[in-house]
């Protein structure tokens, strides 16, 4: 296969990153106490192993076909608003092990960054297979980030604040819908004018 230099470099960086994250997930799962969080981390690690191997096969021209993967969010019932007083423990500079909250935070940030970088890499690729590989990677990262965030939310570690009802209504009422009939009429007039101009030029 003949890849452009930049997409070869970016895909190589993606594979190097996935390899490091596979090991990182293994080390953090080992330290994890919460069994639900541990299961999430192990599941994410397996998804990354599959993606890593797919990338290797793609780069080595082994006939892999990359198809679009539709995001598959797990149903969640998040708690919105800071209903309970959150307490953050002071960080320990010389700790020998990490808390579940710290582990989840580190991996959440890893997947958030992966979603951003994956789409950035995709935007720079011209080969459709390489491009879709990075798009799928970005989608997978945002799904893993959401799953981790949901665990944090359920355990009271990450509760997004809300505006007051008045502020929310003000924000939601700022924008007005388009008058679709006027838009259609305007587009028809523009098309008609364009057709008349083309006919006059012939």
How confident is the model over 68-111, as pLDDT tens digits? 766 666 667 777 776 666 667 788 888 888 999 999 999 999 99
Tell me what pLDDT residue 43 has: 95
Tokens standing for 201? 């030029």
pTM: 0.80
pLDDT of residue 123: 93
Burial class (CB in 10 A: 0-12, 13-18, 19+), 175: exposed
Averaged pLDDT for residues 11-24: 96
Contact 145, 59 (CB under 8 A): no
């Amino acid at each position: 296969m003949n890849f452009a230099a930049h997409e070869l470099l970016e895909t190589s960086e993606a594979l190097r990153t996935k390899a490091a994250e596979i090991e990182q997930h293994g080390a953090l799962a080992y330290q994890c106490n919460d069994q639900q969080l541990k299961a999430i981390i192990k599941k994410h690690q397996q998804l990354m192993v599959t993606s890593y191997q797919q990338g290797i096969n793609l780069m080595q021209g082994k006939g892999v076909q990359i198809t679009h993967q539709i995001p598959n969010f797990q149903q969640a019932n998040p708690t919105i608003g800071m209903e309970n007083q959150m307490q953050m423990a002071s960080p320990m500079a010389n700790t020998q092990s990490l808390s579940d909250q710290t582990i989840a935070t580190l991996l959440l940030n890893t997947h958030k960054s992966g979603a951003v970088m994956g789409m950035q890499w995709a935007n720079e690729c011209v080969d459709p297979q390489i491009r879709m590989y990075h798009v799928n990677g970005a989608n997978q990262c945002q799904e893993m980030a959401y799953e981790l965030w949901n665990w944090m939310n359920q355990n009271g570690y990450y509760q997004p604040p809300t505006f007051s009802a008045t502020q929310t209504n003000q924000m939601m009422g700022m924008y007005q819908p388009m008058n679709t009939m006027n838009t259609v009429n305007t587009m028809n007039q523009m098309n008609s004018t364009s057709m008349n101009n083309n006919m006059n030029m012939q």
